[in-house]
Amino acid sequence: MSSRTITIKQAINEAHHEEFARDDSVIIMGCDVGIRGNPFGVTTGLYDKFGAERVRDTPISEAAIVGACLGAAITGLRPIGEILFSDWITIPMDQIVNQIAKIRYMFGGKTNVPLVIRAPVGAGGGQAAQHSQSFESWFSHVPGLQVVMPITPYDAKGLLKTAIRGNDPVLFFEHKRGYEITGLVPEDDYTIPFGEAVIRREGADVTIVAISIMVHRVLKAAEELSALGIECEVIDPRTIYPFDYDTVLKSIRKTHRLIVSHEATRRSGIGAEIVSQVVERGFEELDEKPMIVAGLNVAMPYNHTLESMVIPDEENIKQTVLQMMDRV
Amino acid sequence: MKTSAISMDESLAKLKIFKNEVMQELQAPEDLSKEQVLEIFRKMALIREFDSRVKTLWKQNFIYGLAHAYLGAEAVGVGACAALKEGDYITSTHRGHGHVISMGGDVNKMMSELMGKADGYCKGKGGSMHIASVDDGMLGATGIVGSGMPIAVGAALTASVKKKDYVTICFHGDGGTNQGVWHESINLAAAWQLPVIFLCENNQWAISMNYERATGNPAVADRAIGYGIPGVTVDGFNPFAVYEAVRDAVKRARAGKGPSLIEARYYRYIGHFVADDERYRDTSTNNPWAEQMDPIKRMREYLIESKTATEKEVKAIEQSAIDLVEASIEHAKNAPEPSEDTLWDGLYSSEFMKTYGGK
């Protein structure tokens, strides 16, 4: 299978084009997804190729957009709903939590709910308190949903295709700082199953589970730590729910140390759940208390210096690892 | 200080205005056959009997959770759904029993669901508040007021994308009209000219909140102008008035002319749900709306006076409703409980559950 190097943005765009061509029940709706091709260029070309019936620019009505995705999903379409910034997912929250997540169960399993909600997450760039957040832990908390956070072009394309073809609702979170990340992507069609983590770097000293953009920051830190003789094993779970605990548990049987890192606010974040699960299932393997490197529990400030204090970076990871290895 | 939202005098004054301005004389439209007219009465009588029994069954603890009755609203659901054909959809409210029966649903399966039984419409997972007969086109009741609005828009969107000629009726209450998603959904459907009929069952009460206290203009249909769609108010105690308004809106929708807003105004003269003590209004005497506007009573009289049916035939229809509901109660009482191993069923698709277990 021949591959070429493309960006995450291009990979997501290709997944849309290919799934639209493959299945005419796939549609997309959201603010600016049509004529403008989405602010990041993610849906470029879809409107021209597949037309206004299937590629729908919407008014700024997130609850109606997401609710309409559900109504369309249970009557035979495979809708993709886009939220321009994931921070605004608070607006259709009832539709996601009380309707989309529940409808199959409370109606006795009678309906499939094949829908995807895509939204860019992530901080950086002075976007302040309402354009910087990552809410993966909220949706992981709700039975009935799936949460996907790819951070390579290969994963973004393969996981989005799986999301579109599946019969259960998916929250698909793309990191804004990740759209230009490049990587090899096969020319041919492929999908990636949910719930399968990838080991991005092997190492025998510390297991670091990194979510979304933190994968790249952790890999940089791991490179620097390697020069100091500390080898990190970096795991990218790719999907937050379902979550691949087997890969993490296997890794700590080797390293006996665990760090979890996400950009979202630390308090009640997904890191707390991952640590709790690993402790419950593999406490006897851990030689050190597990640590979480995450966003500070504060609203995202605008000022660059203040902002960089809130977002976890390579240095935070490095320091945490050194501390765990008794090297400070 | 006011101790109740509405005194008996105020209730009577409102009834007088209703009679002058909204009430429409019962007259079966020419496009309905005698059999269709009788079918409307049959379904209304069945809803009446079904929901009349629910409160007692709840008090006796045969029905476990919450239940909201469709009593007094029978003409709305049945009249509206008489204008539909196979393949059409409706979305419901938290008052869904009447909608199931209006769409031709099975009272045995519904009563079983209310009793939480395994052979209920939702296998004991939904109860009254989430009653759904999807195979009949009834896309489910919801416990969140107003939340069915965009779901109906989505069902209508599928018709548009797939070039199908079905329509969707979105039942909602006056309480739902003050939710943000109500406005978003009608606006979206109007912008996209989707085949959906927004049917407001204006019973004038959102639990204890009277609609006149809840908005600056209690005429729901007036809001249609804001979205550039037709809006009409009809007598919600009159199945023929509801039928005619919905029939015209359905015709528009099927012709690609977009959504309509219909306000079927009636009055909730019973409590909000099984355990509502109605302390927010004067209940010292029988509610005058129940005595003067009751849709079953009006239909009964109309059928006999218009010689559509004899008194004996009318009684037979009502007896048949009693028998069907009695049988449904017996059926549900004897139906099996869901087994504990069904707890996780339906949380995700079966292929998901097979791979991940759902836990």
Query: Could A107 and B134 be called an inter-chain contact, meaning their C-beta atoms sit closer than 8 Å?
Result: yes
pLDDT value of residue B2: 53
**Domain membership flag for residue B341:** yes
**Domain membership flag for residue B1:** no
Q: Enumerate the residues of chain A whose CB falls inside 8 A of the CB of residue B150.
A: 63-68, 70-71, 95
Pick the CATH number of A3-186 from 3.40.50.970, 3.90.1330.10, 3.40.50.1970, 3.50.50.60: 3.40.50.970
B358 band by pLDDT with thresholds 50, 70 and 90 = low
Distance between the two ends of chain B, CA-based, in angstroms? 53
B312 by DSSP, 3-state: which?
Answer: helix
Closest CA to A62 of B141, B188, B223: B188
Partner-chain residue, chosen from A27, A99, A105, that has the shortest CB–CB distance to B161: A27
Task: State the CB neighbour count (10 A cutoff) for residue A299.
Answer: 12
Residues within 8 A of A (CB atoms), B 185-224 only:
185, 187-188, 191-192
Query: Could B161 and A75 be called an inter-chain contact, meaning their C-beta atoms sit closer than 8 Å?
Result: no
Measure the CA–CA gap between A115 and B349, rounded to whole angstroms.
13
Task: State the CB neighbour count (10 A cutoff) for residue B55.
Answer: 18
B359 band by pLDDT with thresholds 50, 70 and 90 = low
Query: Could B144 and A98 be called an inter-chain contact, meaning their C-beta atoms sit closer than 8 Å?
Result: yes
pLDDT value of residue B220: 96
How is residue B14 written in tokens?
A: 């409102």
How far is the alpha carbon of B43 from chain A, nearest alpha carbon, in Å?
Answer: 23
pLDDT value of residue B284: 78
**Domain membership flag for residue B91:** yes
How is residue B58 written in tokens?
A: 């709840």
Q: Does B346 touch chain A (CB under 8 A)?
A: yes
**Domain membership flag for residue B271:** yes
Closest CA to B79 of B269, B289, B308, B262: B262
How far is the alpha carbon of B264 from chain A, nearest alpha carbon, in Å?
Answer: 23
B270 band by pLDDT with thresholds 50, 70 and 90 = confident
**Domain membership flag for residue B3:** no
Closest CA to A74 of A95, A104, A36, A96: A104
Q: Determine the residue of chain A that is closest to B343 in CA distance.
A: A105
Q: Can you name the CATH fold of A198-324?
A: Rossmann fold (3.40.50)
B1 band by pLDDT with thresholds 50, 70 and 90 = very low
Q: Is the dihedral of CA A197, A201, A206, A210 positive or negative?
A: negative
Query: Could B351 and A68 be called an inter-chain contact, meaning their C-beta atoms sit closer than 8 Å?
Result: no
Q: How far is CA B30 from CA A260, A312, B33, B305, in A?
A: 71, 72, 7, 17
Closest CA to A25 of A167, A159, A156: A167
pLDDT value of residue B83: 98
| Partners of A172 in beta bridges | A118, A148
Q: Enumerate the residues of chain B whose CB falls inside 8 A of the CB of residue A73.
A: 154
pLDDT at residue B235 is higher than 50: yes
pLDDT at residue B320 is higher than 80: yes
Query: Could B157 and A77 be called an inter-chain contact, meaning their C-beta atoms sit closer than 8 Å?
Result: yes
Measure the CA–CA gap between B198 and B176, rounded to whole angstroms.
11
How far is the alpha carbon of A189 from chain B, nearest alpha carbon, in Å?
Answer: 21
B35 by DSSP, 3-state: which?
Answer: helix
- Please tell me if the domain spanning A3-186 has the same topology as the one spanning A198-324: yes
Encoded amino acid at A225, one letter:
L
How does pLDDT run across B32-82, given as a tens digit for each residue? 999 999 999 999 999 999 999 998 999 999 999 989 999 999 999 999 999
- Selected catalytic residue, list A16, A131, A175, A262: A131
Query: Could B126 and A66 be called an inter-chain contact, meaning their C-beta atoms sit closer than 8 Å?
Result: no
Measure the CA–CA gap between B218 and A37, rounded to whole angstroms.
41
pLDDT at residue B26 is higher than 80: yes
pLDDT value of residue B272: 84
A17 is catalytic: no
Number of domains chain B is built from: 1
3-state SS of A34-50?
CCCCCCCCCCCCHHHHH
How does pLDDT run across B184-227, given as a tens digit for each residue? 999 999 999 999 999 999 999 998 898 988 999 999 999 999 99
Q: Does B144 touch chain A (CB under 8 A)?
A: yes
Those residues whose C-beta lies under 8 Å from the C-beta of residue B198, and which sit 6 or more positions away, are B149, B152, B170, B172, B185, B186, B189, B259, B260, B261, B262
pLDDT value of residue B80: 98
Encoded amino acid at A73, one letter:
A
The one-digit pLDDT tens for each residue of chain A (328 residues) are 799 999 999 999 999 999 999 999 999 999 999 999 998 999 999 999 999 999 999 999 999 999 999 999 999 999 999 999 999 999 999 999 999 999 999 999 999 999 999 999 999 999 999 999 999 999 999 999 999 999 999 999 999 999 999 999 999 999 999 999 999 999 999 999 999 999 999 999 999 999 999 999 999 999 999 999 999 999 999 999 999 999 999 999 999 999 999 999 999 999 999 999 999 999 999 999 999 999 999 999 999 999 999 999 999 999 999 999 998 8
**Domain membership flag for residue B2:** no
| Partners of A234 in beta bridges | A201, A208
**Domain membership flag for residue B321:** yes
Q: Determine the residue of chain A that is closest to B110 in CA distance.
A: A107
Task: State the CB neighbour count (10 A cutoff) for residue A305.
Answer: 7
Query: Could B352 and A76 be called an inter-chain contact, meaning their C-beta atoms sit closer than 8 Å?
Result: no
pLDDT value of residue A86: 97
Are A30 and A62 in contact, with CB atoms under 8 Å apart?
no
How far is the alpha carbon of B263 from chain A, nearest alpha carbon, in Å?
Answer: 21
Q: Does B122 touch chain A (CB under 8 A)?
A: yes
Query: Could B155 and A74 be called an inter-chain contact, meaning their C-beta atoms sit closer than 8 Å?
Result: yes
Are A270 and A236 in contact, with CB atoms under 8 Å apart?
no
**Domain membership flag for residue B316:** yes
Q: Does B125 touch chain A (CB under 8 A)?
A: yes
Here the CATH number for the domain that contains residue B182 is 3.40.50.970
Measure the CA–CA gap between A40 and B190, rounded to whole angstroms.
29
User: What residue numbers bound the domain in which B179 lies?
Assistant: 8-356
ipTM: 0.95
Interface probe for B, chosen from A28, A55, A105 (most Cβ of B below 10 Å), is A105
CB burial of residue B10 (10 Å; 0-12, 13-18, 19+): middle
B8 band by pLDDT with thresholds 50, 70 and 90 = confident
Q: Enumerate the residues of chain A whose CB falls inside 8 A of the CB of residue B156.
A: 71
Query: Domain spans of chain A?
Result: 3-186, 198-324
